[in-house]
Structure 1
Protein backbone atom coordinates (compact mmCIF):
# COMPACT_ATOMS: atom_id res chain seq x y z
CA UNK A 1 0.00 0.00 0.00
CA UNK A 2 1.46 3.35 -1.02
CA UNK A 3 2.14 6.10 1.51
CA UNK A 4 -0.44 8.32 -0.21
CA UNK A 5 -3.24 5.73 0.06
CA UNK A 6 -2.29 4.95 3.65
CA UNK A 7 -2.35 8.64 4.56
CA UNK A 8 -5.72 9.10 2.90
CA UNK A 9 -7.19 6.14 4.81
CA UNK A 10 -5.89 7.45 8.13
CA UNK A 11 -7.24 10.94 7.38
CA UNK A 12 -10.59 9.45 6.37
CA UNK A 13 -10.84 7.35 9.53
CA UNK A 14 -9.90 10.37 11.67
CA UNK A 15 -12.55 12.50 9.97
CA UNK A 16 -15.24 9.84 10.45
CA UNK A 17 -14.24 9.40 14.10
CA UNK A 18 -14.33 13.15 14.80
CA UNK A 19 -17.67 13.49 13.03
CA UNK A 20 -19.09 10.58 15.04
CA UNK A 21 -17.89 12.17 18.26
CA UNK A 22 -19.58 15.48 17.45
CA UNK A 23 -22.89 13.66 16.95
CA UNK A 24 -22.86 11.83 20.28
CA UNK A 25 -26.07 12.59 22.18
CA UNK A 26 -25.94 13.71 25.80
CA UNK A 27 -28.41 11.76 27.96
CA UNK A 28 -29.48 13.34 31.26
CA UNK A 29 -31.86 12.01 33.95
CA UNK A 30 -35.06 14.07 33.92
CA UNK A 31 -37.43 14.36 36.88
CA UNK A 32 -41.04 15.55 36.84
CA UNK A 33 -42.78 16.18 40.15
CA UNK A 34 -46.45 16.33 41.18
CA UNK A 35 -46.58 20.02 40.27
CA UNK A 36 -45.53 19.23 36.66
CA UNK A 37 -42.11 20.84 37.10
CA UNK A 38 -39.38 19.15 35.06
CA UNK A 39 -35.81 19.48 36.26
CA UNK A 40 -32.30 18.12 35.95
CA UNK A 41 -29.21 18.32 38.12
CA UNK A 42 -26.69 20.91 36.95
CA UNK A 43 -23.38 22.27 38.25
CA UNK A 44 -23.08 26.05 38.38
CA UNK A 45 -19.69 27.76 38.25
CA UNK A 46 -17.97 24.36 38.65
CA UNK A 47 -18.83 24.13 42.35
CA UNK A 48 -22.57 24.35 43.12
CA UNK A 49 -24.96 21.51 42.25
CA UNK A 50 -28.59 22.57 41.81
CA UNK A 51 -31.92 21.16 40.65
CA UNK A 52 -32.84 23.39 37.72
CA UNK A 53 -36.13 23.56 35.83
CA UNK A 54 -35.86 23.37 32.03
CA UNK A 55 -38.15 26.26 31.13
CA UNK A 56 -38.81 26.86 27.43
CA UNK A 57 -40.63 30.08 28.35
CA UNK A 58 -37.43 31.77 29.46
CA UNK A 59 -33.82 32.29 28.41
CA UNK A 60 -30.39 31.99 30.03
CA UNK A 61 -30.04 31.03 33.71
CA UNK A 62 -32.26 32.22 36.56
CA UNK A 63 -31.56 31.44 40.22
CA UNK A 64 -33.96 32.15 43.06
CA UNK A 65 -33.12 34.86 45.56
CA UNK A 66 -32.89 32.23 48.27
CA UNK A 67 -30.40 30.23 46.21
CA UNK A 68 -28.31 33.33 45.50
CA UNK A 69 -28.31 34.31 49.16
CA UNK A 70 -27.81 30.97 50.89
CA UNK A 71 -26.56 28.30 48.48
CA UNK A 72 -23.62 29.71 46.52
CA UNK A 73 -20.03 28.84 47.46
CA UNK A 74 -18.65 31.81 45.53
CA UNK A 75 -19.61 35.35 44.57
CA UNK A 76 -21.91 35.79 41.58
CA UNK A 77 -22.43 38.96 39.56
CA UNK A 78 -25.88 39.29 38.04
CA UNK A 79 -26.94 40.33 34.54
CA UNK A 80 -23.62 40.97 32.77
CA UNK A 81 -21.14 38.19 33.56
CA UNK A 82 -21.02 34.77 31.91
CA UNK A 83 -20.68 31.66 34.07
CA UNK A 84 -20.14 27.99 33.36
CA UNK A 85 -23.18 25.71 33.66
CA UNK A 86 -22.65 21.95 33.35
CA UNK A 87 -25.72 19.99 32.25
CA UNK A 88 -25.01 16.34 31.63
CA UNK A 89 -21.56 15.98 30.11
CA UNK A 90 -21.55 19.37 28.39
CA UNK A 91 -20.75 22.87 29.55
CA UNK A 92 -22.72 25.97 28.58
CA UNK A 93 -22.10 29.66 29.17
CA UNK A 94 -24.82 31.91 30.54
CA UNK A 95 -25.42 35.16 32.37
CA UNK A 96 -27.33 34.87 35.65
CA UNK A 97 -30.60 36.54 36.63
CA UNK A 98 -32.57 36.56 39.86
CA UNK A 99 -36.21 35.73 40.63
CA UNK A 100 -38.31 35.31 43.74
CA UNK A 101 -39.93 32.08 42.57
CA UNK A 102 -39.26 29.19 40.22
CA UNK A 103 -40.73 25.73 39.67
CA UNK A 104 -41.60 23.69 42.78
CA UNK A 105 -38.63 21.85 44.23
CA UNK A 106 -36.02 23.66 42.14
CA UNK A 107 -33.25 26.17 42.79
CA UNK A 108 -33.72 28.02 39.52
CA UNK A 109 -34.35 27.51 35.83
CA UNK A 110 -32.55 27.60 32.49
CA UNK A 111 -33.96 28.51 29.10
CA UNK A 112 -34.18 26.95 25.68
CA UNK A 113 -31.52 29.24 24.19
CA UNK A 114 -28.69 27.20 25.69
CA UNK A 115 -29.61 24.65 22.99
CA UNK A 116 -30.43 26.99 20.10
CA UNK A 117 -28.28 24.96 17.67
CA UNK A 118 -29.32 21.57 19.08
CA UNK A 119 -32.25 19.17 19.29
CA UNK A 120 -33.65 18.57 22.78
CA UNK A 121 -35.58 15.38 23.48
CA UNK A 122 -37.91 15.18 26.49
CA UNK A 123 -38.78 11.53 27.08
CA UNK A 124 -41.22 11.20 29.96
CA UNK A 125 -41.60 7.44 29.48
CA UNK A 126 -37.92 6.88 30.28
CA UNK A 127 -37.35 9.95 32.47
CA UNK A 128 -34.67 11.36 30.20
CA UNK A 129 -33.65 14.65 28.63
CA UNK A 130 -31.38 14.05 25.63
CA UNK A 131 -29.44 16.73 23.78
CA UNK A 132 -28.85 15.72 20.15
CA UNK A 133 -26.70 17.38 17.51
CA UNK A 134 -29.37 16.71 14.91
CA UNK A 135 -32.85 15.19 14.66
CA UNK A 136 -32.82 11.35 14.78
CA UNK A 137 -33.95 9.95 11.44
CA UNK A 138 -36.32 7.44 13.02
CA UNK A 139 -38.31 10.30 14.53
CA UNK A 140 -38.59 12.17 11.24
CA UNK A 141 -39.92 9.01 9.58
CA UNK A 142 -42.35 8.11 12.39
CA UNK A 143 -45.85 9.21 11.41
CA UNK A 144 -47.13 8.90 14.98
CA UNK A 145 -45.29 12.13 15.78
CA UNK A 146 -47.25 15.30 15.06
CA UNK A 147 -45.28 18.37 14.01
CA UNK A 148 -45.61 21.97 15.17
CA UNK A 149 -43.74 24.86 13.58
CA UNK A 150 -41.64 27.01 15.93
CA UNK A 151 -42.17 30.76 15.63
CA UNK A 152 -39.55 32.82 17.45
CA UNK A 153 -40.32 36.19 19.00
CA UNK A 154 -38.78 38.28 21.81
CA UNK A 155 -36.29 35.50 22.68
CA UNK A 156 -39.05 32.90 23.23
CA UNK A 157 -41.18 30.88 20.81
CA UNK A 158 -44.75 29.97 20.02
CA UNK A 159 -46.68 27.23 18.25
CA UNK A 160 -50.11 27.23 16.63
CA UNK A 161 -52.83 25.27 18.41
CA UNK A 162 -56.62 25.19 18.27
CA UNK A 163 -59.37 25.29 20.88
CA UNK A 164 -62.90 24.02 20.29
CA UNK A 165 -65.92 24.98 22.38
CA UNK A 166 -69.62 24.71 21.61
CA UNK A 167 -68.96 24.23 17.89
CA UNK A 168 -66.57 27.20 17.63
CA UNK A 169 -62.92 26.66 16.67
CA UNK A 170 -60.21 29.20 17.44
CA UNK A 171 -56.64 28.76 16.17
CA UNK A 172 -54.05 31.02 17.78
CA UNK A 173 -50.45 31.31 18.94
CA UNK A 174 -49.46 29.67 22.22
CA UNK A 175 -46.23 30.27 24.07
CA UNK A 176 -44.63 26.82 24.40
CA UNK A 177 -43.82 26.96 28.10
CA UNK A 178 -42.56 23.93 30.02
CA UNK A 179 -42.08 26.25 32.99
CA UNK A 180 -45.82 26.92 33.37
CA UNK A 181 -47.16 24.19 35.62
CA UNK A 182 -50.82 24.10 34.53
CA UNK A 183 -52.49 23.23 31.21
CA UNK A 184 -53.02 26.52 29.37
CA UNK A 185 -53.39 30.19 30.26
CA UNK A 186 -55.76 31.99 27.91
CA UNK A 187 -55.57 35.61 26.81
CA UNK A 188 -58.96 37.35 27.18
CA UNK A 189 -58.26 39.80 24.35
CA UNK A 190 -57.61 36.95 21.92
CA UNK A 191 -60.74 35.15 23.08
CA UNK A 192 -62.87 38.25 22.51
CA UNK A 193 -61.38 38.93 19.06
CA UNK A 194 -62.14 35.33 18.03
CA UNK A 195 -65.67 35.50 19.42
CA UNK A 196 -64.86 32.43 21.46
CA UNK A 197 -67.86 31.28 23.55
CA UNK A 198 -66.21 31.65 26.96
CA UNK A 199 -69.63 31.93 28.59
CA UNK A 200 -70.37 28.28 27.69
CA UNK A 201 -67.26 27.02 29.48
CA UNK A 202 -68.12 25.49 32.85
CA UNK A 203 -66.36 27.35 35.65
CA UNK A 204 -64.39 25.03 37.93
CA UNK A 205 -63.02 27.52 40.44
CA UNK A 206 -61.44 30.92 41.11
CA UNK A 207 -58.04 31.25 42.78
CA UNK A 208 -55.23 33.73 43.35
CA UNK A 209 -51.92 32.53 41.90
CA UNK A 210 -48.40 33.84 42.45
CA UNK A 211 -46.50 35.36 39.56
CA UNK A 212 -42.74 34.91 38.96
CA UNK A 213 -42.07 38.06 41.01
CA UNK A 214 -44.33 36.98 43.86
CA UNK A 215 -47.21 39.18 42.70
CA UNK A 216 -50.84 38.05 43.15
CA UNK A 217 -52.75 37.08 39.99
CA UNK A 218 -56.53 36.32 40.12
CA UNK A 219 -57.32 33.32 37.90
CA UNK A 220 -60.51 31.56 36.77
CA UNK A 221 -60.25 27.86 35.85
CA UNK A 222 -62.85 26.66 33.34
CA UNK A 223 -63.48 23.49 31.36
CA UNK A 224 -62.47 23.62 27.67
CA UNK A 225 -64.18 21.01 25.49
CA UNK A 226 -61.18 20.31 23.26
CA UNK A 227 -57.56 21.44 22.90
CA UNK A 228 -55.71 20.42 19.74
CA UNK A 229 -51.98 19.67 19.89
CA UNK A 230 -51.11 19.11 16.27
CA UNK A 231 -53.15 16.08 15.19
CA UNK A 232 -54.05 15.08 18.75
CA UNK A 233 -57.15 16.23 20.64
CA UNK A 234 -57.26 16.54 24.41
CA UNK A 235 -60.80 16.43 25.81
CA UNK A 236 -62.26 18.46 28.72
CA UNK A 237 -59.14 20.39 29.65
CA UNK A 238 -59.27 22.69 32.71
CA UNK A 239 -57.76 25.95 31.44
CA UNK A 240 -56.97 29.20 33.21
CA UNK A 241 -57.98 32.77 32.42
CA UNK A 242 -56.34 35.78 34.05
CA UNK A 243 -59.00 38.34 34.90
CA UNK A 244 -56.85 41.36 35.73
CA UNK A 245 -53.90 41.21 33.31
CA UNK A 246 -52.49 39.45 30.26
CA UNK A 247 -50.55 36.17 30.33
CA UNK A 248 -47.69 38.02 28.58
CA UNK A 249 -47.58 41.76 29.05
CA UNK A 250 -47.77 43.62 25.75
CA UNK A 251 -48.67 40.56 23.67
CA UNK A 252 -51.90 38.89 22.59
CA UNK A 253 -50.90 35.31 23.19
CA UNK A 254 -52.02 32.18 25.03
CA UNK A 255 -49.66 29.99 27.08
CA UNK A 256 -49.37 26.23 26.72
CA UNK A 257 -48.18 24.69 29.98
CA UNK A 258 -46.50 21.53 31.13
CA UNK A 259 -49.61 19.76 32.44
CA UNK A 260 -50.44 19.42 28.74
CA UNK A 261 -46.92 19.22 27.33
CA UNK A 262 -45.86 16.40 29.69
CA UNK A 263 -48.36 14.12 27.93
CA UNK A 264 -46.10 13.96 24.87
CA UNK A 265 -42.59 12.70 24.30
CA UNK A 266 -41.10 15.65 22.50
CA UNK A 267 -38.22 16.61 20.22
CA UNK A 268 -37.46 20.34 20.05
CA UNK A 269 -35.51 20.98 16.86
CA UNK A 270 -34.38 24.57 17.36
CA UNK A 271 -32.23 24.64 14.22
CA UNK A 272 -34.98 23.63 11.81
CA UNK A 273 -37.75 25.35 13.79
CA UNK A 274 -40.01 22.34 14.31
CA UNK A 275 -41.32 20.34 17.27
CA UNK A 276 -42.16 16.63 17.08
CA UNK A 277 -44.67 15.34 19.67
CA UNK A 278 -46.05 11.86 20.37
CA UNK A 279 -48.43 10.75 23.17
CA UNK A 280 -46.75 8.96 26.08
CA UNK A 281 -47.81 7.08 29.22
CA UNK A 282 -49.04 10.35 30.80
CA UNK A 283 -51.45 11.15 27.97
CA UNK A 284 -54.60 10.06 29.80
CA UNK A 285 -53.64 10.93 33.39
CA UNK A 286 -56.20 13.01 35.25
CA UNK A 287 -55.74 16.77 35.39
CA UNK A 288 -54.86 18.32 38.75
CA UNK A 289 -57.97 20.49 38.81
CA UNK A 290 -60.15 17.51 37.95
CA UNK A 291 -58.67 15.52 40.84
CA UNK A 292 -59.61 18.27 43.26
CA UNK A 293 -63.21 18.19 42.14
CA UNK A 294 -63.86 14.44 42.19
Structure 2
Protein backbone atom coordinates (compact mmCIF):
# COMPACT_ATOMS: atom_id res chain seq x y z
CA UNK A 1 0.00 0.00 0.00
CA UNK A 2 2.86 2.37 0.88
CA UNK A 3 4.53 1.68 -2.48
CA UNK A 4 1.30 2.53 -4.33
CA UNK A 5 0.94 5.81 -2.45
CA UNK A 6 4.58 6.71 -3.12
CA UNK A 7 4.18 5.95 -6.84
CA UNK A 8 1.01 8.02 -6.99
CA UNK A 9 2.84 10.97 -5.38
CA UNK A 10 5.69 10.71 -7.88
CA UNK A 11 3.30 10.57 -10.85
CA UNK A 12 1.27 13.47 -9.49
CA UNK A 13 4.41 15.55 -8.94
CA UNK A 14 5.52 14.83 -12.50
CA UNK A 15 2.13 15.76 -13.87
CA UNK A 16 2.07 19.11 -12.09
CA UNK A 17 5.63 19.88 -13.19
CA UNK A 18 4.66 19.39 -16.84
CA UNK A 19 1.48 21.45 -16.61
CA UNK A 20 2.72 24.14 -14.21
CA UNK A 21 1.49 27.51 -15.40
CA UNK A 22 1.16 31.15 -14.41
CA UNK A 23 -1.65 33.40 -15.64
CA UNK A 24 -1.20 37.13 -16.17
CA UNK A 25 -4.31 39.20 -16.98
CA UNK A 26 -4.04 42.06 -19.43
CA UNK A 27 -6.18 44.86 -20.83
CA UNK A 28 -6.61 45.55 -24.53
CA UNK A 29 -6.84 49.20 -25.55
CA UNK A 30 -8.87 50.47 -28.49
CA UNK A 31 -5.50 50.84 -30.26
CA UNK A 32 -4.87 47.06 -29.98
CA UNK A 33 -2.10 47.49 -27.40
CA UNK A 34 -1.79 45.09 -24.47
CA UNK A 35 -1.52 46.79 -21.06
CA UNK A 36 -0.18 44.96 -17.99
CA UNK A 37 -0.51 46.37 -14.47
CA UNK A 38 2.84 46.11 -12.69
CA UNK A 39 4.50 47.05 -9.43
CA UNK A 40 8.17 47.96 -9.91
CA UNK A 41 10.61 47.79 -6.99
CA UNK A 42 7.65 47.51 -4.61
CA UNK A 43 7.01 51.25 -5.04
CA UNK A 44 5.99 52.32 -8.55
CA UNK A 45 2.63 51.20 -9.94
CA UNK A 46 2.97 51.34 -13.71
CA UNK A 47 0.85 50.35 -16.71
CA UNK A 48 3.31 48.77 -19.13
CA UNK A 49 2.60 47.88 -22.74
CA UNK A 50 3.65 44.38 -23.77
CA UNK A 51 6.10 44.65 -26.65
CA UNK A 52 6.80 41.30 -28.29
CA UNK A 53 9.61 42.90 -30.32
CA UNK A 54 11.85 43.40 -27.25
CA UNK A 55 13.10 41.38 -24.29
CA UNK A 56 13.71 44.00 -21.59
CA UNK A 57 11.63 46.98 -20.40
CA UNK A 58 11.56 50.76 -20.75
CA UNK A 59 9.98 53.90 -19.35
CA UNK A 60 8.31 56.55 -21.49
CA UNK A 61 9.00 60.29 -21.13
CA UNK A 62 5.24 60.77 -21.58
CA UNK A 63 4.24 58.45 -18.72
CA UNK A 64 1.25 59.38 -16.56
CA UNK A 65 2.47 57.65 -13.40
CA UNK A 66 5.63 58.22 -11.35
CA UNK A 67 8.65 55.95 -11.76
CA UNK A 68 10.79 57.52 -9.04
CA UNK A 69 12.22 54.23 -7.80
CA UNK A 70 13.76 53.15 -11.09
CA UNK A 71 17.27 54.61 -10.88
CA UNK A 72 19.01 55.21 -14.21
CA UNK A 73 22.74 55.55 -14.84
CA UNK A 74 24.41 58.11 -17.12
CA UNK A 75 23.48 55.96 -20.14
CA UNK A 76 19.79 55.96 -19.14
CA UNK A 77 19.90 52.28 -18.20
CA UNK A 78 18.59 50.79 -14.95
CA UNK A 79 19.47 47.22 -13.98
CA UNK A 80 18.41 44.80 -11.25
CA UNK A 81 14.80 45.94 -10.96
CA UNK A 82 12.01 43.78 -9.57
CA UNK A 83 8.66 43.63 -11.37
CA UNK A 84 5.56 42.16 -9.73
CA UNK A 85 2.48 41.24 -11.75
CA UNK A 86 -0.10 39.60 -9.52
CA UNK A 87 1.70 36.62 -7.97
CA UNK A 88 4.48 36.66 -10.56
CA UNK A 89 7.78 38.18 -9.39
CA UNK A 90 10.47 38.86 -11.99
CA UNK A 91 13.90 40.00 -10.76
CA UNK A 92 16.88 41.59 -12.50
CA UNK A 93 14.72 43.39 -15.06
CA UNK A 94 16.56 45.97 -17.16
CA UNK A 95 14.79 49.27 -17.91
CA UNK A 96 15.81 51.78 -20.57
CA UNK A 97 14.77 55.42 -20.10
CA UNK A 98 12.92 57.80 -22.43
CA UNK A 99 11.51 55.37 -24.99
CA UNK A 100 8.15 56.19 -26.50
CA UNK A 101 5.40 53.64 -26.04
CA UNK A 102 1.78 52.97 -27.00
CA UNK A 103 -1.37 54.77 -25.92
CA UNK A 104 -2.34 54.53 -22.23
CA UNK A 105 1.05 53.09 -21.18
CA UNK A 106 3.84 54.38 -18.93
CA UNK A 107 6.42 52.23 -20.67
CA UNK A 108 7.01 48.83 -22.23
CA UNK A 109 7.92 45.34 -21.10
CA UNK A 110 9.04 42.51 -23.34
CA UNK A 111 9.32 38.75 -23.65
CA UNK A 112 11.93 38.55 -20.88
CA UNK A 113 8.91 38.08 -18.60
CA UNK A 114 8.75 34.55 -19.98
CA UNK A 115 12.47 33.77 -20.33
CA UNK A 116 13.05 30.01 -20.57
CA UNK A 117 9.32 29.29 -20.68
CA UNK A 118 6.61 28.77 -23.25
CA UNK A 119 3.88 31.38 -23.20
CA UNK A 120 0.42 31.91 -24.63
CA UNK A 121 -1.13 35.21 -25.71
CA UNK A 122 -4.83 34.50 -25.27
CA UNK A 123 -6.92 37.27 -26.80
CA UNK A 124 -10.15 35.38 -26.09
CA UNK A 125 -9.61 35.59 -22.32
CA UNK A 126 -7.34 38.67 -22.12
CA UNK A 127 -4.50 36.85 -20.42
CA UNK A 128 -1.00 35.49 -20.83
CA UNK A 129 -0.28 31.96 -19.67
CA UNK A 130 3.32 30.88 -19.07
CA UNK A 131 4.33 27.22 -18.95
CA UNK A 132 7.43 25.44 -17.71
CA UNK A 133 7.23 23.25 -20.82
CA UNK A 134 5.35 23.37 -24.10
CA UNK A 135 1.66 22.66 -23.34
CA UNK A 136 -0.76 20.63 -25.44
CA UNK A 137 -0.95 22.35 -28.85
CA UNK A 138 -3.65 20.16 -30.38
CA UNK A 139 -5.81 22.34 -32.64
CA UNK A 140 -2.99 24.80 -33.25
CA UNK A 141 -0.91 25.20 -36.40
CA UNK A 142 2.88 25.31 -36.15
CA UNK A 143 4.61 28.34 -37.69
CA UNK A 144 8.44 28.57 -37.79
CA UNK A 145 9.97 31.55 -35.98
CA UNK A 146 13.21 33.32 -36.81
CA UNK A 147 14.89 34.77 -33.70
CA UNK A 148 17.30 37.66 -34.30
CA UNK A 149 18.66 39.89 -31.52
CA UNK A 150 15.74 39.02 -29.26
CA UNK A 151 13.17 39.80 -31.96
CA UNK A 152 10.76 37.31 -33.53
CA UNK A 153 10.10 37.08 -37.27
CA UNK A 154 7.55 35.02 -39.20
CA UNK A 155 7.18 34.34 -42.93
CA UNK A 156 3.87 35.09 -44.64
CA UNK A 157 2.58 35.08 -48.20
CA UNK A 158 1.29 38.35 -49.67
CA UNK A 159 -1.04 38.28 -52.66
CA UNK A 160 -0.26 41.36 -54.76
CA UNK A 161 -1.70 41.90 -58.22
CA UNK A 162 -2.77 38.26 -58.30
CA UNK A 163 0.70 36.94 -57.46
CA UNK A 164 1.95 35.42 -54.20
CA UNK A 165 5.09 36.89 -52.59
CA UNK A 166 6.69 35.53 -49.43
CA UNK A 167 8.21 37.97 -46.94
CA UNK A 168 9.48 37.93 -43.37
CA UNK A 169 7.67 40.11 -40.81
CA UNK A 170 8.79 41.31 -37.40
CA UNK A 171 6.15 40.61 -34.74
CA UNK A 172 5.53 44.18 -33.57
CA UNK A 173 2.78 44.56 -30.96
CA UNK A 174 3.61 48.24 -30.44
CA UNK A 175 2.36 49.13 -33.93
CA UNK A 176 -1.43 49.43 -33.69
CA UNK A 177 -2.12 48.78 -37.38
CA UNK A 178 -2.01 45.64 -39.51
CA UNK A 179 0.86 45.03 -41.91
CA UNK A 180 3.55 47.65 -42.49
CA UNK A 181 5.97 47.10 -45.34
CA UNK A 182 9.66 47.99 -45.51
CA UNK A 183 10.83 50.53 -48.05
CA UNK A 184 12.67 47.76 -49.90
CA UNK A 185 9.59 45.54 -50.22
CA UNK A 186 7.33 48.48 -51.08
CA UNK A 187 9.62 49.73 -53.83
CA UNK A 188 10.36 46.28 -55.24
CA UNK A 189 6.69 45.28 -55.45
CA UNK A 190 5.55 48.78 -56.54
CA UNK A 191 2.87 48.86 -53.84
CA UNK A 192 1.90 52.44 -54.62
CA UNK A 193 0.46 51.25 -57.93
CA UNK A 194 -0.60 47.71 -57.05
CA UNK A 195 -2.48 48.17 -53.79
CA UNK A 196 -5.73 50.03 -53.37
CA UNK A 197 -4.79 53.16 -51.36
CA UNK A 198 -7.37 54.30 -48.80
CA UNK A 199 -5.52 57.22 -47.19
CA UNK A 200 -2.20 59.00 -46.79
CA UNK A 201 -0.33 61.52 -44.67
CA UNK A 202 2.84 63.50 -45.55
CA UNK A 203 5.43 64.78 -43.07
CA UNK A 204 8.52 66.91 -43.70
CA UNK A 205 11.68 67.32 -41.65
CA UNK A 206 13.71 70.50 -41.11
CA UNK A 207 15.68 69.82 -44.31
CA UNK A 208 12.54 69.73 -46.40
CA UNK A 209 12.70 65.96 -46.93
CA UNK A 210 9.31 64.29 -46.97
CA UNK A 211 7.87 60.92 -46.07
CA UNK A 212 4.34 59.91 -46.96
CA UNK A 213 2.54 57.17 -45.08
CA UNK A 214 0.01 55.42 -47.29
CA UNK A 215 -2.66 53.05 -46.06
CA UNK A 216 -3.69 50.35 -48.50
CA UNK A 217 -5.59 47.09 -48.71
CA UNK A 218 -3.89 43.75 -49.35
CA UNK A 219 -6.42 41.32 -50.90
CA UNK A 220 -5.06 38.21 -49.17
CA UNK A 221 -2.41 37.38 -46.59
CA UNK A 222 -1.59 33.75 -45.85
CA UNK A 223 0.00 32.61 -42.58
CA UNK A 224 0.43 28.84 -42.72
CA UNK A 225 -2.91 27.64 -44.07
CA UNK A 226 -4.89 30.51 -42.52
CA UNK A 227 -5.91 33.34 -44.84
CA UNK A 228 -6.75 36.93 -43.88
CA UNK A 229 -8.75 38.94 -46.41
CA UNK A 230 -8.61 42.64 -47.29
CA UNK A 231 -5.82 43.25 -44.80
CA UNK A 232 -4.89 46.79 -43.74
CA UNK A 233 -1.39 47.36 -45.14
CA UNK A 234 0.77 50.47 -44.80
CA UNK A 235 3.88 51.58 -46.66
CA UNK A 236 6.02 54.69 -47.12
CA UNK A 237 6.90 56.84 -50.11
CA UNK A 238 9.04 59.98 -50.34
CA UNK A 239 12.66 61.01 -49.80
CA UNK A 240 13.26 59.34 -46.44
CA UNK A 241 13.90 55.59 -46.51
CA UNK A 242 13.86 54.59 -42.86
CA UNK A 243 11.52 51.56 -42.69
CA UNK A 244 13.91 48.60 -42.83
CA UNK A 245 11.66 45.74 -41.68
CA UNK A 246 8.17 44.52 -42.52
CA UNK A 247 5.91 44.71 -39.45
CA UNK A 248 3.24 42.23 -38.40
CA UNK A 249 1.35 44.72 -36.25
CA UNK A 250 -0.99 44.44 -33.28
CA UNK A 251 -4.13 44.46 -35.43
CA UNK A 252 -3.10 41.23 -37.14
CA UNK A 253 -1.39 39.67 -34.11
CA UNK A 254 -4.69 39.89 -32.17
CA UNK A 255 -6.44 37.80 -34.84
CA UNK A 256 -4.70 34.70 -33.52
CA UNK A 257 -4.11 32.97 -30.21
CA UNK A 258 -0.37 32.35 -29.90
CA UNK A 259 1.70 29.78 -28.05
CA UNK A 260 5.43 30.52 -28.32
CA UNK A 261 7.77 27.64 -27.51
CA UNK A 262 10.54 28.04 -24.89
CA UNK A 263 13.30 28.07 -27.54
CA UNK A 264 11.50 30.73 -29.63
CA UNK A 265 11.78 28.52 -32.72
CA UNK A 266 8.08 27.83 -33.27
CA UNK A 267 4.77 29.63 -32.77
CA UNK A 268 1.54 27.68 -32.57
CA UNK A 269 -1.50 29.62 -33.75
CA UNK A 270 -5.23 29.34 -34.15
CA UNK A 271 -7.88 31.98 -34.94
CA UNK A 272 -9.03 34.19 -32.07
CA UNK A 273 -12.37 35.94 -31.67
CA UNK A 274 -10.92 38.85 -33.68
CA UNK A 275 -9.99 36.82 -36.77
CA UNK A 276 -12.64 38.46 -38.98
CA UNK A 277 -13.06 41.73 -37.05
CA UNK A 278 -12.97 45.09 -38.88
CA UNK A 279 -9.48 46.45 -39.35
CA UNK A 280 -8.04 49.22 -37.21
CA UNK A 281 -8.03 52.64 -38.86
CA UNK A 282 -4.82 54.60 -38.43
CA UNK A 283 -5.15 58.34 -37.89
Shift of 1:101: 2.1
Quote the Cα distance in structure 1 between the aligned partners of 2:105 and 2:281.
22
Question: Is 1:242 the counterpart of 2:236 in the alignment?
Answer: yes
Number of equivalenced pairs: 271
Quote the Cα distance in structure 1 between the aligned partners of 2:274 and 2:233.
18
Query: CA 1:166–1:22 in structure 2 vs 1: closer, same or farther (change >3 Å)?
Result: closer
SS of corresponding position for 2:77: coil
Relative to total residues, which structure has the larger helix share, 1 or 2?
A: 1
Runs of 4+ with >6 A deviation:
none
Output the aligned Cα RMSD.
Answer: 2.8
- Alignment equivalent of 1:33, drawn from 26, 29, 32: 29
Unaligned regions of 5+ residues in structure 1, if any?
210-215
CA contact (8 A) 2:178 2:280 kept: no
Question: Is 1:82 the counterpart of 2:77 in the alignment?
Answer: no
Q: TM-score, normalised to structure 2's length?
A: 0.85
Relative to total residues, which structure has the larger strand share, 1 or 2?
A: 2
Q: In the alignment, which residue of structure 2 is the partner of 1:200?
A: 194
Unaligned regions of 5+ residues in structure 2, if any?
204-209
Q: In the alignment, which residue of structure 2 is the partner of 1:177?
A: 172
Q: TM-score, normalised to structure 1's length?
A: 0.82
Q: In the alignment, which residue of structure 1 is the partner of 2:163?
A: 168
SS of corresponding position for 1:43: strand
Q: In the alignment, which residue of structure 1 is the partner of 2:54?
A: 58
CA contact (8 A) 1:247 1:255 kept: no
Shift of 1:72: 2.3
SS of corresponding position for 1:95: strand
Moved more, 155-164 or 126-135: 126-135
Question: Is 1:255 the counterpart of 2:247 in the alignment?
Answer: yes
Quote the Cα distance in structure 2 between the aligned partners of 1:162 and 1:203.
20
Shift of 1:260: 0.6
Quote the Cα distance in structure 2 between the aligned partners of 1:129 and 1:227.
26
Residues 122-166 of structure 1 deviation map (CA, whole Å, 9 limit, x = unaligned): 1111111111112222x2x22xx2221111112212011110022
Quote the Cα distance in structure 1 between the aligned partners of 2:120 and 2:236.
31
Query: CA 1:84–1:56 in structure 2 vs 1: closer, same or farther (change >3 Å)?
Result: same
